[in-house]
Amino acid sequence: MADCKSNYTFENWAHTLKFKPERFCEPASEADVIAIVKDALARGETVRTQGGGHSWSDFVVTDKTLIQLDKLNKGLIADVLKRRYTVQAGIRLKDLINNLALDGLAMKNLGSMTEQSIAGAISTGTHGTGLRLGNISSSIVGMKLVTGTGDLLTIKESDGDLLDAARVSIGTLGIITEVTIEVVPLYDLDHNTYFCKFDDVIDKIDTLNQENERFLIWWLVAPIGPKDNCCAR
């Protein structure tokens, strides 16, 4: 059975959510995850899953069992020819991209930081930029999840609707234990940053989006800067 404790306080990155679940468990295997769900089910309770705790939404809040998959963080299969990478779902994006680089591979797209777990990032539709690049979940081509009844469900690339539903499921379809990601060859990005006026960028936003593979604006509102300044890259 997994390592569970009772004196854990969850607090998210922004310090906007804080609670103490009755039980906090860190499973070290898929079998542990199944045992935790069945144990909760036997008591008529449910289980919530947290990743890196970077979300502002309160989907993880519970007074019963909270689990975190930080110990399920291994790379499993790198199929370099087919550009598929299978990994345990608790891995943080920063570790995932380091592992991929060792095999000459990379994620198609990422957001502005990489502290999130892959399961947490896909579950909320975390996105980067780029009109022709999808969000992170659009790269997911398969996964395993433990359902609310403690069954292990394997979802394949050919399972169209089911895969689409599971990709951005905010923890409600089950606990994702493994994902297979469509990856691309390792690449370098040429990256420029400019300070500009907000209205000027908005006037040209369609052109800037068309002409750049990726385009991002940081709007520097007070107290960081006057409200018409922004940083474009």
Q: Output 38 or 127, the one with its CB closest to ligand FAD.
A: 127
Q: Which residues pair with 148 in a beta bridge?
A: none
Q: Is the Cα dihedral 106, 111, 115, 121 positive or negative?
A: negative
55, 76, 146, 154, 185 from 163: Cα distances, Å: 22, 20, 14, 10, 24
**Cα 144 to Cα 156: distance, rounded to the nearest angstrom:** 9
- By the 8 A CB rule, do 145 and 173 touch? yes
The yes or no reply on residue 13 touching ligand FAD (CB under 6 A) is: yes
In whole angstroms, what separates CA 168 from the centre of its chain? 9
- What is the 8-class DSSP label of residue 126? -
Pick from 21, 27, 120, 142: which binds ligand FAD (CB under 6 A)? 120
- By the 8 A CB rule, do 169 and 123 touch? yes
Long-range contacts of 108-112 (CB under 8 A, 24+ apart): 108/133, 108/134, 108/139, 108/182, 108/183, 108/184, 109/133, 109/134, 109/135, 109/136, 109/139, 109/214, 110/136, 111/136, 112/216
Least gap, CB of 104 to ligand FAD (angstroms): 25
The yes or no reply on residue 69 touching ligand FAD (CB under 6 A) is: yes
Pick from 59, 198, 215, 219: which binds ligand FAD (CB under 6 A)? 59
Q: Output 21 or 52, the one with its CB closest to ligand FAD.
A: 52
The yes or no reply on residue 221 touching ligand FAD (CB under 6 A) is: no
Binding segment (CB under 6 A) for ligand FAD, from list 24-32, 38-46, 95-103, 113-121 = 113-121
The yes or no reply on residue 113 touching ligand FAD (CB under 6 A) is: yes
Binding segment (CB under 6 A) for ligand FAD, from list 78-86, 98-106, 116-124, 153-161 = 116-124
Q: Output 148 or 225, the one with its CB closest to ligand FAD.
A: 148
**Window 150-189: residues binding ligand FAD (CB under 6 A):** 170-171, 175-176
The yes or no reply on residue 119 touching ligand FAD (CB under 6 A) is: yes
Q: Which residues bind ligand FAD (CB under 6 A)?
A: 13, 49-55, 59-60, 69, 89, 111-113, 116-117, 119-121, 123-124, 126-127, 170-171, 175-176
